[in-house]
Amino acid sequence: MLPHTSATLLIVEDNADLRDGLKDILSFEGFNVLLAGNGLEALAVMHNLRPDLIISDISMPEMDGFAFYEAVRALPEGVTIPFIFLTARGEREDILRGRNLGAEDYLIKPVMRDELINAIQSRLQRFRQLQMAQMEAAYQAALTALANGIEVRDRYTRGHVERVTAYSLAIGEQLGWSGVRLEALRYGAILHDIGKIFISEAILSKNGPLSPEERLQMTFHPAQGAEMIKDIPYLAVAIPVIRCHHERWDGSGYPNRLSGEAIPLEARIIAVADSFDAMTSDRPYHRAASLQQGLDEIQQGRGHAYDPEVVDLFTQAWQAGKIYDIAARW
């Protein structure tokens, strides 16, 4: 028995002996098993409980497997349920019809035990991976919406979060990053200015230089942003990035006046991306510079405000056309 298996399977099969035999095999493997003799019975079962996966015969009385499949997919709760056709018919037209309907798995009776178990576990794993990807996409969309709440308060920064994220990822890709490292950079970029939610709108949109007191308030937002997410384990990788994205290579930044490699590399990347976008966007205190002027200014800060290696990587991304392509989207 597989103790980790707790998925609920619905077997739809009009042959009672085969149906009961499948139940014995799958119950022994640790699955919860529901039974139905045809499509109509199966829909009635699903009225009370949503299965994690369906195994259905094709040739059945009252409602065959194809009609049952379409009925399941018409249900809001049935759109994503993994579906395996199990049939004695192996004609090409049946396989093609099932595939055209969207069924990914098609087993021919008599099916071997190992073949059946492997198909079920593989289909469940693919479904869980899809769920995780969808959850990740929804999570990132929620984070972006949260970060964009700052932009609602300041019309001058519209699109800033998306551009800084895209510029940062372009630099990360130049480094050859992927997977977890690139995702940490993405989260940090999306949330880098989240602490500005504590800054008054009057300061954010002030049309002119900030007073010493206002500048002091602005220096608090990296630490405030890091504090906001400190109790969210999923975002722990972004905390150093948020806290340090206004630090500068020569130690002239804030909040802790870190310098050089004492600043996390992700924060050094976002510092370049954030500065470039600020230079090339309209703000209350200046008109947007051209993209070329922005690049020139970033390069002038190489080894002073910005990590020389990061500036070089940004320049490479520029030469590859990536920076222009990103800027052109907004």
Q: Which residues pair with 33 in a beta bridge?
A: 9
Q: Which residues of 12-27 are buried (b: 16+ CB within 10 A; e: fewer)?
A: bbbeeebbeebbeebe
Q: Which residues contact 61 (CB under 8 A, 6 or more apart)?
A: 14, 38
Q: Work out whether the CA dihedral 316, 321, 323, 326 comes out positive or negative.
A: negative
- The amino acid at 239: I
Instruction: Tell me whether residue 57 is exposed, middle or buried, using C-beta atoms within 10 angstroms of its C-beta: 0 to 12, 13 to 18, 19 or more.
Output: buried
Question: How far is residue 199's CA from residue 153's CA, in Å, rounded to a whole number?
Answer: 10
321: left (phi over 0), alpha (psi -120 to 50) or beta: left
Q: Is residue 196 among the annotated active site residues? A: yes
Catalytic residue among 196, 206, 230, 322: 196
Q: Using an 8 Å Cβ cutoff, are 87 and 65 in contact?
A: yes
Residues belonging to the active site: 196
